[in-house]
A and B are shown apart, each in its own frame.
Chain A
Amino acid sequence: MDEILEILSNNARVTPAEIAKMTGKSESSVKSAIKKYENNGTILAYKTVIDQDQLKGARPCVRALIEVSVSPQKKVGFEAVAERIYSFPEVVSCYLVSGAYDLLVVVEGENLQTVSNFVATKLSSLDQVRGTATHFLLKKYKEDGHILKKKDDDKRLNISY
């Protein structure tokens, strides 16, 4: 991976001037590389990783991992049914996987009821869907490489040779 992407994927707030210093490139070449990545869709978005558990007074939210078995269709395979599913705003992630089922769908909703309703009325009712198994998420420990826990303090001595 290009070093610019590596830096931004760890911390999207680093400025082009700072990236230029870190990599020994010129600021303008860093800027134009970023522009290129944004234009060709390599960089899709800049996001902030939030530990939802830390939010006080936020709307309650439940997440479920749903195993979905589907019948692939002629010519379009899994693509068409996947698109029908991932287009629902309730679906936060959707993956085609190998193994006992086909699509792993991550759904978010206000409470158990809303997620269950979504599965029953929107997902299971699709013609190509042969079956679902829903797993409600109880606790998140690590997400996208981030351990969801406040970082430990530096355990080193403040000064040493």
Chain B
Amino acid sequence: MKYQISQKVENLAPSGIRAFFDLVLGMKDVISLGVGEPDFMSPWHIREEAIHSLEQGFTSYTSNKGMPELRKEICRHMSHRFGVKYDFDEETLITVGVSEALDLVVRAILNPGDAVIIHQPCYVSYGPVVELAGGDPIVIQTRVEDGFKVTPEQIEKAYTKKTRAIMLNYPCNPTGASYTKAELNALCKVIKKLDLLVISDEVYDELTYDFDHTPISALPGMKERVIYMNGFSKSYAMTGFRIGWACGPKPIIDAMTKIHQYTMLCASITGQIAACEALKNGTKSVQEMKREYNRRRRFVVSGLNDLGLTCHMPQGAFYVFPSIKNTGMSSMDFAQNLLKEQKVALVPGVAFGHDCEGYVRISYASSYDNLKEALTRIGEFLK
């Protein structure tokens, strides 16, 4: 039988690196620096709370927006930590990870032909979710000389009359780039001038090393134009629980909730209960993990630079994005050859956009011993 696939899905850029991923997944004894999730397990107090909830029989649906207790806890966190006040009932939605929130927001705000500015390198779903929602992604290519940060000039240049929103991700997967308050203020000035919405994915916020993280909605006059997104996956090492959230203006949260109730219904209750515990008692675990990541960050950056792979110091997340240009290899060849010759896996830059050639993403969410061994092997590979 010939199966019809929607034109929109057919048109999505095929993931050229799927084959490479499959190769890595099928290989044993690989030291992987290609993993996009923490190497820590969810802290025990969080897992224990989830187990307890199952024993108590919490196995039902929750309200579409998510458990009120969790939404209240999130709003308390946003207010205490960052001084941004959101209403738990009208301005907050619990989603199945930030990934779902991203999909919901573009579907909620875009009409066919509307454009959304995204930056590259960026997380792989940004372009596709905009396209699936009928929008056009407009790409800003961030530059290593700007520390892979979007500049106000780039936003102005990318803007057209059809542009509705800009998607930001900071700290950024895959570059680790993040923005100081002053840098955000400069971006906000032009965002306000152009009357854009900001879809802000701040899932790595707790892993900011060189300065305090500022949510873009915390800046004066920005709350009304920001859909803030965060989740528990990275800060609390809870990727498998699949819990994220969105905070934003009521009309947009309402529209997102409408789609969410028809498509997802609600996020899993076990995950929501675990997330509640994370916010209530998880600060210490977050700080411990952050200190450890920070040490690995410095260790890996210095190690890569010693090997001649130029590497800027990322300010957040758990990735470094070194240049491999001086090897003369494409990022895919580099990744494949390194895997074959030295059994070290990493993600080629092209995975994050066509124009991200010349770079690879290395995740330091791996034990210190693994990182040390991997650096030695990369050194062998480069000889």
Within 8 A of B (CB), among A1-30: 3, 6-7, 11, 14, 18, 21-24
Q: How far is the CB of A159 from chain B (nearest CB, A)?
A: 4
Given contacts A22-B295, A160-B37, 5 further A-B contacts (CB under 8 A): A14-B368, A22-B299, A157-B35, A158-B24, A161-B347
The answer to whether B351 has its CB under 8 Å from any CB of chain A is yes
What per-residue 1/0 map shows which CB atoms of A49-71 lie under 8 Å from chain B? 00000000000000000000000
Contact A157 B368 (CB under 8 A): no
A interface bracket (residues with beta carbon within 8 Å of B): 10 to 19
A-B contact count (CB 8 A): 52
CB distance from B171 to the nearest CB of A (A): 15
Is A158 a contact partner of B123 (Cβ separation < 8 A)? no
A154 to chain B, nearest CB (A): 7
Residues of B within 8 A of A139 (CB): none
- The interface size bin for chain B is 20 to 34
**Residues in A whose Cβ lies below 8 Å from that of B303:** 21
CA distance A14 to B123 in the complex (A): 34
Which residues of B sit under 8 angstroms from A47, Cβ to Cβ? none
Contacts of A156 in B (CB 8 A): 35, 37, 39
**Can you list 13 residue pairs at the A/B interface with Cβ under 8 Å?**
A6-B291, A21-B298, A23-B295, A156-B35, A157-B35, A158-B32, A158-B345, A159-B21, A159-B32, A159-B35, A159-B345, A160-B36, A160-B37
Alpha-carbon distance between A19 and B345 when the two chains are bound, in angstroms = 25
* Residue ID in chain A nearest B366 by CB atoms: A154
Q: Are B35 and A158 in contact (CB under 8 A)?
A: yes
- Given A158-B24, A159-B347, A161-B124; A24-B35 close (CB under 8 Å): no
Q: Which single residue of chain A is at the shortest CB-CB distance from B123?
A: A161
Contact assessment for A158 and B298 in the assembled complex, using a CB-CB cutoff below 8 Å: no
Give Cα distance in the complex from A90 to B294, angstroms: 42
Residue from the list A11, A22, A158 in contact with B296, Cβ < 8 A: A22
The 8 closest A-B pairs by CB, nearest first: A159-B34, A22-B295, A159-B24, A160-B36, A21-B302, A158-B32, A21-B299, A22-B299
**Shortest Cβ distance from A19 into B: residue:** B295
Interface presence of B200 (CB below 8 A): no
Complex Cα gap A3–B347 (Å): 31
Q: Cβ of B25 and Cβ of A161 under 8 Å apart?
A: no
- Interface assignment of B144: CB less than 8 Å from any CB of chain A: no
A123-161 interface bits toward B, Cβ cutoff 8 Å, 1 = contact, 0 = none: 000000000000000000000000000000010111111
Q: A7-B295, A22-B296 are contacts. A159–B302 as well, Cβ < 8 Å?
A: no
Find the B residue at minimum CB distance from A156: B35
| A161 to B368 Cα, complex, angstroms | 21
Interface flag for B257 (CB, 8 Å): no
B 23-45 binary contact with A (CB < 8 Å = 1; else 0): 01101001010111101000000
* Chain A residues with CB below 8 A from B372, complex form: 18
Instruction: Kindly list chain B residues whose C-beta atoms are within 8 Å of the C-beta of A160.
Output: 34-37
A contact residues around B295 at 8 Å (CB): 3, 7, 22-23
Tell yes or no: B268 within 8 A of A by CB.
no
Q: Does B173 interact with chain A (Cβ within 8 Å)?
A: yes
Expressed in whole angstroms, the minimum distance between the Cβ of B33 and any Cβ of chain A is: 9
Q: Can you name the residue of chain A whose Cβ is closest to the Cβ of B301?
A: A21
Question: Which residues from chain A contact B125 at a C-beta distance below 8 Å?
Answer: 161
Q: Mark B331-352, 1 if CB is under 8 A from A, else 0.
A: 0000000000000010100010
Contact A158 B291 (CB under 8 A): no
Closest to A7 in B: B295
B351 pairs with A158, CB closer than 8 A: no
Inter-chain CA distance A23–B302, complex, in Å, is 11
Find B368's partner among A3, A11, A24, A158 (CB 8 Å cutoff): A11
B296 proximity list for chain A (CB < 8 A)? 22
Q: How far is the CA of A158 from the CA of B33 in the complex (A)?
A: 8
Could you say which residues of chain B place their CB within 8 Å of the CB of A18? Answer: 299, 372
A81 to chain B minimum Cβ distance, whole angstroms, is 38
Chain A residues in 8 Å Cβ range of B298: 21-24
- Given A11-B368, A156-B37, A161 and B299 touching (CB < 8 A)? no
1/0 contact trace for A86-110 toward B, CB 8 Å? 0000000000000000000000000
Pick the most buried of A7, A154, A161: most chain B CB atoms within 10 A of its CB. A161
Closest to A24 in B: B298
A161 with B39, Cβ < 8 A, contacts A6-B291, A22-B299 known: no
Pick the contact of A158: B27, B39, B299, B302 (CB < 8 A). B27
Residues of A near B368 (CB, < 8 A) are 11, 14
B291 contacts across to A, CB distance below 8 A: 3, 6
B16 to chain A minimum Cβ distance, whole angstroms, is 14
Q: What 1/0 mask marks residues of chain A from 18 to 45 whose CB sits below 8 Å from any chain B CB?
A: 1001111000000000000000000000
Residue of A nearest to B124 (CB): A161
Kindly state the separation between the CA atoms of A7 and B351 in the bound complex, as whole angstroms.
35
Q: Chain A nearest CB: distance from B296 CB in Å? A: 7
